[in-house]
Each structure stands twice: as structure tokens, then as C-alpha cells.
Amino acid sequence: MWQELIGQEFSVKVLQQAALDSKEALTGKVMPGFSQAWLLTGPPGSGRSTAARLFAATLQCEQNGCGKCISCISVNTGTHPDVKVIAPQGLSYGIDDTKDLVREATLMPSLGQWNIIILEDADRLTTEAGNALLKAIEEPAKLTMWILCAPSSKDVLITIRSRCRIVSLRTPPADAIADLLIKRDGIDKAMAHFAAHASLGHVGRAKLLATDEQVRERRSLVLQVPFELKDLPSCFAAAQRLVDAATEDADIATDEMDEKELNNLLRAYGEGAEGVTKRKVERLASSAKKELEEGQKKRYKRITRDRLDLTLQELAAFYRDVLVLQTGADLELFHTEMKGSIQRFADSSSVNSTIKRLDSVESTRRMLNSEAAPLLVLESLTVQLARA
């Protein structure tokens, strides 16, 4: 079951031992690997959510994660009644989102050994929301287990993270990703290696790059940007294109989800009502629809920002490749397929300006987490890149 999580041998051992120790702890023994609050960290695409799910399955399974029993299967398909996966809809978790969670955390498990709550993107907890959760995490109910996920521990409120046992995933090596694409998805060797490097260690992204030509095209458009920044109009045009590319990715990711959710909702409200009841149901349906659409809007905004961040990571990797060639460092390039043009770029600029450009990209990534309008932020970036 754990082979799904690639390149994380050390963390897998820690989590498997933790699950064993947790079973012992249930008998009243004091076990070193036991904790009721975990924080799994790792860069996007390294497999945080997968690790959390597999850990939950291992905790619930009587054979410590056999992958075959009804308990393992139901956790892995998202249907286990005692494993709840919570993800923020918008850019952050608010106080209202956490009230229900605090209640959930007091429940006893109905079938499994533990009542497990997986909180994805715990870095998006507002201070208020974090404080509301703090007590539930600090003094958990006897059979409640928290598994929080975040890009890095420093992104999580210190009050929360200081209560958690931390397990850090690393960026999976490109060779391991290529291997997975070949074995699991039947992708040919050359494409698998290209996608593994181009994905910057993001497993899901690697599969998309290997299988979707449009994703590859958008990526190469992004990587043309450094060559096009000459004057103000070209900077503004490039910024617009970066935003468009992220928006198109987000459209594809959300359209299908949105439609399915709306159909489910209409079906839930639409059947069997007559007369006065029917009008009442219609009123309820329209307010539920409004609520759903608001949630979807928030999610769309979040996914667009996530894609933009990915775009910026690709740009950062480009300038990092430039720096590698400029300094003659003995490192493999991320964008190997464009080595020729990266070399020309490296020859025509200085190490100093490359470092400035890398700084600009990094500070832009931080700014995107605020409420600032993405297009403005990116226009300011492209202008900085042109002037560096």
C-alpha cells in the first residue's frame, strides 16, 4: 500500500512504527512513537495528502496497513466513517469552518480504532481559527487522532505546530517519479524522464505533463516569458499571459467538479415535492445553490492562485538553471530540453542580475498569498525581471 508514496522511505518507516506504537498505547502502555497530533510537511506534490491517508489506513487496520482489508480499502476510497478529510474551500479556514471540527473531534469512533481527522493545508488556518482548534488538538478526546498537512512547519501557527509530532517529506527525486510514470501509467521512458524533471518534483503535475499536450504547451509558453521582456508593453503582455495560463488550468480543474456538485444538489432538492411543500423546497434549494456557488467561487480563486504559484516555481527553476550554467555548478537542469536557449540567456546576462531575478520571483510568490490582485502583482514582477 505504501509504495504509492515514492521516495519517502524514511518517513514511511516513522509512520508505520507510529501506527504500531499507537495500537500498543491503546492497551495503556507508554510508547515512544505515539502521538495524537501529527503534522506532515512537504512541498506541493510530494505526497502529503497521500501520506496522511495511508497513515490513517495503517492506524485503523488491524494488521498495520495490509492494504486489502475492508478498513484499508474504505480509508483509501474515502468512505471510512472514522476518517474525515477536511480541506479549505477558499484561501483560508475561517472561525466558522473550525466550529464543526471541534465538535467532530469529541466523537468516539464508530467502527475503527481511532476517530481520525485529516486537516489539509493547515497553513491556511487563520489565527482565530487556529486558536479555536488549539484546545481540541492540545487535549484531544481519548480516541481522536489529528493529522495536519502543510508545505512546511514554519507555515503553521506556532501554537499549533508545537503540539504536533512533525514528519517531513522530501521532494521526490526525478528518477523515482519517472519510474512511477513508467510502471504505473505505462508512459514511455523518454516522456517519463522529461515530465519527471519538468514537474520540479510534483508527482501529480508530472503525470499531467506526460499525458496532456495542452499542459505541456502552457508550460512552454511560461518558459518563453524570460526571453520576451523588453519594454513595458511586452512586460504587461507577458503578465497577462501568465495569468491566462493559470486561469485556463483552473477552469479545467474546476468546471467538471462544479457541474457535478450542482447536479447533485438539484437532485437532492428536486424530487417528490408538491404544492406548498414544493415552494418551500424551491426556496431552500435556491439558498443552498447560492451557498454552493459561493463555495465554488472561493475554491476557484484558491486553485487559480495555486496554479499561479506553480507558474512562478517554473520561472524560478528557469533562472536557477541559468545560474547553474553561469556558475558552472555541477547540477542537473530542471528544463533540460531547452538547454540551448538557457545557455544563450546565461551568456547574455550576469550572475548578479540572475540572483536579483530569483529574488523577485520569490517575493512575488509571497505576495500572491495576500489579497492583492494577481495581474498587478505579476505586472510588477515582469517589469522587475526586465530591469534586473
Binding site for Zn ion (CB under 5 A): 61, 66, 69, 72
Q: Rounded to an integer, what distance in angstroms lies between the CA atom of residue 7 and that of residue 14?
A: 14
Cβ partners under 8 Å of residue 25, min gap 6: 31, 34
The residue number whose beta carbon is nearest to Zn ion equals 61
Residues 6+ apart with CB under 8 A from 239: 375, 378, 379, 381, 382
Min CB(21)–Zn ion separation in Å: 17
Contact criterion met (CB below 8 Å) for 207 and 195: yes
Residue 66 or residue 262: which is nearer to Zn ion going by CB?
Answer: 66
Q: How far is the CB of 57 from Zn ion (least distance, A)?
A: 7
73 vs 95, beta carbon nearer Zn ion: 73
Shortest reach from residue 176's CB to Zn ion, in Å: 25
DSSP characters over 238-259: HHHHHHHHHHHHHHHHHHHHHH
What residues contact 60, with CB distance under 8 A and at least 6 apart?
A: 71, 72, 75, 80, 82, 83, 112, 113, 114, 116
DSSP code, position 3: G
Long-range contacts of 68-72 (CB under 8 A, 24+ apart): 71/111, 71/112, 72/1
Cα-based angle 39, 42, 44 (whole degrees, multiple of 5) = 125
Residue with smaller CB distance to Zn ion, 2 or 318: 2
Q: Shortest gap between Cβ of 67 and Zn ion (angstroms)? A: 6
In contact, 141 and 171? CB cutoff 8 Å: no
CA atoms of 211 and 192, how far apart (whole Å)? 10
Q: Where are the beta strands (DSSP E) in the chain?
A: 37-41, 83-86, 115-119, 144-150, 165-168
- Closer residue to Zn ion in complex, CB, 61/223: 61
| 59/377 with CB nearer Zn ion | 59
Which residue, 39 or 72, is less far from Zn ion as judged by CB? 72
Query: CB of residue 81 vs Zn ion: minimum separation in angstroms?
Result: 16
CB of 66 to Zn ion, least distance (A): 4
Nearer to Zn ion, 1 or 221 (CB): 1
CB of 23 to Zn ion, least distance (A): 12
